[in-house]
Amino acid sequence: MNATQAVRVAEARADFPILHQQVHGKPLVYLDNAATTQKPKPVIDAIVSYYTADNSNIHRGVHTLSERATVRYEAARERVRRFLHAASEQEIIFTRGATESINLVAAAYGRENVGAGDEVLITALEHHSNIVPWQMLCNEKGAKLRVAPINDAGEVVIGEFERLLGRRTKVVAISHVSNALGTVNPVGPMIRAAHRVGAVALVDGAQAVAHIPVDAPALDADFYAFSGHKVYGPTGIGVLYGKKRLLEAMPPYQGGGDMIRTVTFEKTTYNDLPYKFEAGTPNISGVIGLAAAIEYLENIGIENAAAHEHDLLCYATEQLRRIPGVRILGTAAEKAGVLSFLLEGVHPHDAGTILDSEGVAVRAGHHCAQPVMDRYGVSATTRASFALYNTREEVDALARAVRKAQEVFG
């Protein structure tokens, strides 16, 4: 990160109106970014301008507003295409979020391609949204869900992952970055291993896209899923990237308007990609807001944001390690800005309340990753997670609040 870029990151904080407030009389220190990130002014403005000037339904009206809304919607798709380096806009499908993207693949690809005795391989790091859809599919089909284990540092044991791959493996579904521990998985080599046995690979990039530049074709991912709200965009909008060849062969996920070409009561012919998978009126303002978020992040530079967050992670790790009674969970060599920890004698739920009373917003709980918690024999952790607008001063506030929690139970 060069000096001007560093300045750009430092100035970014001013772009997020919500950050400039007090909570319980203390400056808000927002460290719950893995749950959802805050939204910069350009994203809020894009949504306001859409509803103020251009709101209309898309792909159906001949009138001016509909034309404008359609142009903005499709321009957003083009921005997402470039963001993931996809070859074609037909490979970018808008969904409600990472969860719906994964469910779409489990339903439309999985139902056609996974049968009795087949296997789906996931890892022990997955978020519930990359476990349950596969479990449902496996139950329906009489297929088997296999789980690659993690080591004490929270890294997938690659040898075991490869050993679990076989002739019966039809789908491999892995997170790019773990939301509970911050581990960055070596998805490139994992995808190659999946392909060697003829399986398709889905990557859950919900925690990755705001922190790692993603080139889906270079990774050779068959499917790549993410949510807008974790990359400075609005809630209720997400993306599924899929290889055109696979998407074309898949049946639709939902039926309705926009996904059809012709309908009679006897027979319906489906629309082309990506519309085949976008039934009904989509979240138009969400799509426009997401495009503004990606533009914003790209202007700052994902690498710059990542370098800044890495600095915060190292600094926070160092600060918390100095406090007796703190145990950090997730010590992978490759980590994104997530710091999960336990405080001796203080339950995470109590830590969460006490930190909040100091203005520090963190997540306390199982992070929708109960199997990860089970792996460490705990029911919950306290998790601080960083975004490009966080500062070292905020890490200091976190460390002070942690000491305060210890005092309360001292």
Partner 1 sequence: MANLRDLYQELIVDHSKQPRNFRVVTDADRHAEGHNPLCGDRVTIYIKMEGERISDVAFRGSGCAISTASASLLTESLKGRTATEAENIFDNFHNLVTGAGETGPLGKLAAFSGVCDYPTRVKCATLAWHTFHAALRGAQADHVSTEKA
Ligand X SMILES: Cc1ncc(COP(=O)(O)O)c(C=O)c1O
Site string for partner 1, 265-294 (x = CB under 8 A): ------------------------------
The item of ligand X, partner 1, none sharing an interface with residue 345, based on CB under 5 to 8 Å by kind, is partner 1
The item of ligand X, partner 1, none sharing an interface with residue 408, based on CB under 5 to 8 Å by kind, is partner 1
Decide: 107 and 253 in contact? Cβ < 8 Å: yes
**Interface with partner 1, residue 349, by CB under 8 A:** yes
Choose between 178 and 319: whose C-beta lies nearer to ligand X.
178
Q: What does the binding site for ligand X look like in residue numbers (CB under 6 A)?
A: 97-99, 127, 129-130, 175, 179, 204, 206-207, 227, 229, 368
The item of partner 1, ligand X, none sharing an interface with residue 207, based on CB under 5 to 8 Å by kind, is ligand X
Work out which of 101, 348, 360, 386 binds partner 1, going by CB under 8 A: 348
The item of partner 1, ligand X, none sharing an interface with residue 215, based on CB under 5 to 8 Å by kind, is none
Choose between 312 and 380: whose C-beta lies nearer to partner 1.
380
**Interface with partner 1, residue 74, by CB under 8 A:** no
Q: Work out how close the CB of 233 gets to ligand X at its nearest, in angstroms, rounded to a whole number.
A: 11
Residue whose C-alpha is closest to residue 93's, from 302, 230, 294, 282: 282
The item of partner 1, ligand X, none sharing an interface with residue 98, based on CB under 5 to 8 Å by kind, is ligand X
Choose between 198 and 345: whose C-beta lies nearer to partner 1.
345
Q: Confirm whether 368 is a catalytic residue.
A: yes
**Interface with partner 1, residue 371, by CB under 8 A:** no
**Interface with partner 1, residue 20, by CB under 8 A:** no
The single residue of 93, 368, 401, 405 carrying the catalytic annotation is 368
Choose between 131 and 187: whose C-beta lies nearer to partner 1.
131
**Interface with partner 1, residue 365, by CB under 8 A:** yes
Choose between 203 and 354: whose C-beta lies nearer to ligand X.
203
**Interface with partner 1, residue 373, by CB under 8 A:** yes
48 torsion bin: left (phi>0), alpha (psi -120 to 50), beta (else): alpha
Q: Work out how close the CB of 124 gets to partner 1 at its nearest, in angstroms, rounded to a whole number.
A: 18
Q: What is the total count of residues that contact partner 1 (CB under 8 A)? A: 20
Q: Work out how close the CB of 30 gets to partner 1 at its nearest, in angstroms, rounded to a whole number.
A: 17
Separation between Cα atoms, residue 338 and residue 342, nearest integer Å: 14
Phi and psi for 301 in degrees, rounded to 5?
100, 115
Window contacting partner 1 (CB under 8 A); options: 140-148, 155-163, 256-264, 350-358 = 350-358
According to the 3-state scheme, what is the secondary structure of the chain?
A: CCHHHHHHHHHHHHHCHHHCCEECCEECEECECCCCCCCCHHHHHHHHHHHHHHCCCCCCCCCHHHHHHHHHHHHHHHHHHHHHCCCCHHHEEEECCHHHHHHHHHHHHHHHHCCCCCEEEEECCCCHHHCHHHHHHHHHHCCEEEEECECCCCCECHHHHHHHCCCCEEEEEEECECCCCCEECCHHHHHHHHHHCCCEEEEECCCCCCCCCCCHHHHCCCEEEEEHHHCCCCCCCEEEEECHHHHHHCCCCCCCCCCEEEECCCCEEECCCCHHHCCCCCCHHHHHHHHHHHHHHHHHCHHHHHHHHHHHHHHHHHHHHCCCCEEEECCCCCECCEEEEEECCECHHHHHHHHHHCCEECEEECCCCHHHHHHCCCCCEEEEECCCCCCHHHHHHHHHHHHHHHHHCC
**Interface with partner 1, residue 21, by CB under 8 A:** no
The item of ligand X, partner 1, none sharing an interface with residue 379, based on CB under 5 to 8 Å by kind, is partner 1
**Interface with partner 1, residue 159, by CB under 8 A:** no
Q: Residues with catalytic annotation? A: 368
Binding site for partner 1 (CB under 8 A): 24-25, 345-350, 353-354, 357, 364-366, 370, 373, 379-380, 408-409
